[in-house]
């Protein structure tokens, strides 16, 4: 079987792989990216696109450091990608309204420590912020700096952009084996061997199949999307480990479940019903609109929720 050489080989064409390719190519490396199916069609496509950890005060400092470093970069990146590719990733700085009263003390301490703005809204302010929100809510916490991005468009734009910048992208190219015995790391695919100076594994929930010492496992998340008119929901809303995310065209994402189901991406009626109950309980008028989509994706989960970044 023949062997082709490259400078940097990235395994996995989700958001981590595409972002790595984007920045490594800009840094002067010659990058090849291989993807077992189509770029950006797994967790990177299926997620909600909130540019912050959910309840960030629950996470280790390492996660918050990464988030704080990356958050300011998304708006200029989205503008650059839109200009280069004609695909708008829809950076949307709506802010986050949190309704969990039991989380407020932790949220306030976290915002003070990490330098994020926070405002307590009474019922009058809530009625201005979210006039359709169920009136039983008396108080809310407003985090204005939390934004979202339309992740399916982001990965689509990145996949086009890296090709335009000279990255070699090979879709439908699964990794069959990794050989560490030679001077260069070799990766076997159905089309032959690839040898690289550096190999970056960004295979998401499937990464442990390539690097077995990493305790990564799939975590299924289901989301439903409601086809509401533009402007119905003004801000992201979070409560009881659930969220509502507005898109610019009015679509509202309601998520998400957290399920240990192996690599099963099927959806089920119970999850759909639970998500819609959450949405309708906060915005009763949403029942008037069609449920446009219901899907599932597989997050890469690990014991402490800190990404594995480094040599292995």
- Whole-number Å distance between alpha carbons of 56 and 118: 14
Tokens of 276: 């819609």
DSSP per position, the chain: --EEEEEEEEE--SHHHHHHHHHHHHTT--EEEE-SSSTT-SHHHHS--BSS-SSGGGS-HHHHHHHHHHHHHHHHHHHHHHHHHS-----B---EEE--GGGHHHHHHHHHHHT---EEE-HHHHHHH-TTS-TT---EEEETT--B--HHHHHHHHHHHHHHTT-EEE-S----EEE-SSSSEEEEETTEEEEEEEEEE--GGGGGGTSTTS--EEEEEEEEEEEPPTTS--SEEEETTEEEEE-TTSEEEEE---B--TT-----HHHHHHHHHHHHHH-GGGGGS-EEEEEEEEEEE-TT-----S--
Q: Is the N-terminal amide bond of 256 cis, ω within 30° of 0?
A: yes
* Residue 241 counted as domain residue: yes
- The pLDDT value recorded for residue 1 is 65
> In this structure, is residue 308 part of a structural domain?
no
Q: Is residue 309 in some structural domain? A: no
pLDDT of residue 226: 99
Whether residue 248 lies inside any domain: the answer is yes
Distance CA 145, CA 93 (A): 7
Contact call for residues 22 and 165 (beta carbons, < 8 A): yes
DSSP string, 163-192: HHTT-EEE-S----EEE-SSSSEEEEETTE
The closest of 152, 141, 149 to 51, measured between CA atoms, is: 149
> For residue 243, which of 94, 136, 123, 120 has the smallest C-alpha distance?
94
Residue 33 lies in a domain: yes
Domain range enclosing 267: 3-301
**Any domain includes 310:** no
Report the distance separating Cα 185 and Cα 8, nearest Å.
Answer: 10
pLDDT by residue for the chain (312 residues), tens only, comes to 678 999 999 999 999 999 999 999 999 999 999 999 999 999 999 999 999 999 999 999 999 999 999 999 999 999 999 999 999 999 999 999 999 989 999 999 999 999 999 999 998 899 998 999 997 777 899 999 999 999 999 999 999 999 999 999 999 999 999 999 888 999 999 999 999 999 999 999 999 999 999 999 999 999 999 999 999 999 999 999 999 999 999 999 999 999 999 999 999 999 999 999 999 999 999 999 999 999 999 999 999 999 999 987
Give the angle subtended at the CA of 156 by the CAs of 154 and 157, to the nearest 5°: 65
* Token pair 């108080």 in the structure block, residue: 139
pLDDT at 211: 95
Does residue 306 belong to any structural domain of this protein? no
Domain-located, residue 274: yes
Number of domains in the chain: 1
CATH number at residue 77: 3.50.50.60
């Amino acid at each position: 079987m023949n062997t082709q050489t490259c400078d940097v080989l990235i395994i996995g064409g989700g958001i981590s792989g595409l972002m790595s390719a984007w920045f490594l190519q800009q840094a002067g490396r010659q990058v090849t990216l291989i993807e077992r199916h189509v770029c950006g069609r797994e967790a990177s496509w299926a997620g909600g696109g909130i540019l912050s950890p959910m309840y960030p005060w629950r996470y280790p400092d390492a996660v918050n450091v990464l988030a704080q470093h990356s958050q300011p970069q998304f708006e200029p990146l989205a503008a650059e990608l839109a200009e280069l590719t004609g695909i708008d990733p829809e950076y949307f700085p709506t802010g986050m309204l949190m309704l969990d009263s039991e989380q407020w003390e932790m949220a306030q301490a976290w915002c003070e420590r990490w330098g994020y703005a926070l405002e307590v809204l009474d019922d009058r302010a809530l009625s201005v912020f979210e006039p359709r929100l169920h009136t039983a809510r008396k108080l809310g916490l407003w985090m204005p700096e939390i934004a979202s991005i339309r992740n399916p468009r982001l990965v689509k734009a990145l996949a086009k952009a890296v090709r335009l910048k000279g990255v070699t992208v090979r879709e439908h190219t699964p990794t069959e084996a990794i050989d560490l015995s030679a001077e260069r790391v070799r990766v076997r695919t159905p089309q032959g061997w690839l040898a690289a100076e550096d190999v970056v594994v960004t295979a998401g929930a499937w990464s442990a199949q390539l690097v077995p010492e990493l305790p990564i496992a799939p975590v299924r998340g289901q989301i439903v999307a409601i086809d509401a008119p533009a402007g119905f929901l003004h801000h992201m809303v979070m409560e009881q480990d659930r969220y509502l995310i507005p898109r610019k065209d009015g679509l509202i994402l309601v998520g998400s479940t957290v399920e240990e189901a192996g690599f099963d991406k099927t959806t089920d009626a119970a999850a759909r019903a639970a998500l819609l109950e959450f949405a309708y309980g906060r915005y009763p008028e949403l029942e008037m609109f069609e449920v446009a989509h219901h899907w599932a994706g597989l997050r890469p989960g690990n014991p402490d929720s800190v990404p594995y970044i480094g040599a292995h």
